[in-house]
């Protein structure tokens, strides 16, 4: 793979390649499909900041290209930002908006973060490791080992980070050589052709879905940063992503869409109804199937094992049974 980022092949990398091309091949199929939407966003931002295009594969190991992914530690989005890091790079995070879930805004923030890390270490594998565990842990590993490269400080890094760079190399390989392993992309609900509208007034997504031929699930899929389905454009413009074939329909019906604010927006923001609606929107249930684990279910719904245990009064993660119903508050 032509790259200025060091990508050696060794026994550690081999194990991760085998994982992606064998055990995780279904996940790779989904990522290949999702990449049709996300990779152009990553590539455009990387080129704008003059960074190696191979960095576009980082979100594969961070979130498996699932925009609503949430880690056990609370990191969110394609690039898995913690709240403090996200805010320090200009991402808006509040009750109505979480730009860690915004593919465009979070990508720009992640690339600025990576550029700062490369400025510190002067080595891309060290910068990638620092993206995972923080520059402080990488500096400690350098000091303790006396090494100057990822593989020289490998044994002194946190356990998760030791696998992070090998996983990045393996993900890069799997993406580029998936056909050699008979891995084909699966279908994805993300439309291939999209366009952006700038919204200058507070708007509820239902105003759009009830007026033009775009359903709420599609709007939520394309605009996951709006946590309560509200675009809070009262003091500054916000973006709305639509399937390209519906942009003209939106423009032609914009006056009707805006006129529906009294029907959808004001009623939704009524303090009497807000908590009830939040609970209705975010609570779902899962019936446990044979062979499923809390860890696997948590990854599927983008929550943590501890959250599943707390919501369902489970004291031992190993004691779940087939047919048991789990409450999930996403």
Give the C-alpha separation, 295 to 96, whole Å.
28
- Among 6, 22, 43, 62, the active-site one is 62
Distances from the Cα of 139 to the Cα of 150, 151, 156, angstroms = 11, 14, 10
Could you tell me which residues come within 8 angstroms of residue 286 by beta carbon, excluding any fewer than 6 positions away? 297, 301, 325, 326, 328
Cβ-based burial of 9 (10 A; exposed 0-12, middle 13-18, buried ≥19): exposed
Residues whose CB falls within 8 Å of the CB of residue 106, separated by 6 or more in sequence, listed in order: 77, 78, 79, 81, 86, 91, 99, 100
CA distances in angstroms from 13 to 163, 187, 301, 319, 329, listed in the order given? 9, 29, 29, 34, 37
- Is 322 known to be catalytic? no
Residues with a catalytic annotation lie at 62
């Amino acid at each position: 793979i032509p790259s200025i980022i060091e990508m050696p092949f060794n026994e550690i990398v081999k194990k991760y390649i085998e994982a992606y091309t064998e055990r995780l091949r279904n996940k790779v199929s989904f990522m290949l499909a999702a990449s049709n939407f996300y990779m152009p966003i990553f590539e455009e931002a990387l080129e704008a900041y003059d960074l190696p295009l191979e960095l576009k594969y980082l979100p594969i190991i961070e979130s498996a290209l699932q925009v609503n992914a949430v880690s056990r530690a609370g990191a969110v989005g394609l690039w898995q930002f913690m709240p403090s890091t996200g805010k320090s790079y200009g991402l808006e995070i509040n009750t109505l908006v979480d730009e860690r879930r915004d593919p465009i805004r979070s990508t720009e923030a992640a690339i600025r973060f990576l550029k700062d890390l490369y400025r510190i270490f002067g080595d891309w594998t060290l910068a990638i490791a620092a993206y995972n565990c923080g520059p402080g842990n990488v500096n400690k590993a350098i000091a303790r080992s006396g090494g100057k490269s990822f593989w020289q400080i490998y044994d002194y890094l946190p356990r998760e980070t030791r696998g992070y760079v090998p996983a990045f190399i393996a993900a890069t390989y799997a993406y580029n050589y998936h056909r050699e392993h008979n891995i084909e992309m699966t279908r994805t609900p993300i439309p291939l052709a999209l366009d952006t509208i700038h919204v200058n007034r507070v708007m509820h997504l239902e105003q759009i879905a009830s007026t033009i031929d775009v359903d709420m699930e599609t709007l939520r899929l394309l605009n996951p940063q709006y946590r309560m389905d509200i675009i809070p454009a009262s003091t500054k413009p916000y973006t709305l992503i639509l399937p390209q074939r519906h942009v003209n329909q939106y423009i032609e019906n914009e006056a009707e869409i805006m006129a529906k604010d009294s029907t959808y927006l004001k009623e939704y923001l009524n303090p009497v109804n807000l908590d009830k609606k939040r609970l209705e929107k975010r609570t779902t249930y899962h019936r446990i199937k044979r062979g499923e684990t809390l860890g696997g279910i948590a990854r599927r719904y983008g929550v943590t094992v501890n959250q599943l245990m707390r919501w369902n009064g489970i004291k031992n993660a190993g004691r779940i049974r087939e047919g048991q119903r789990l409450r999930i508050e996403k």
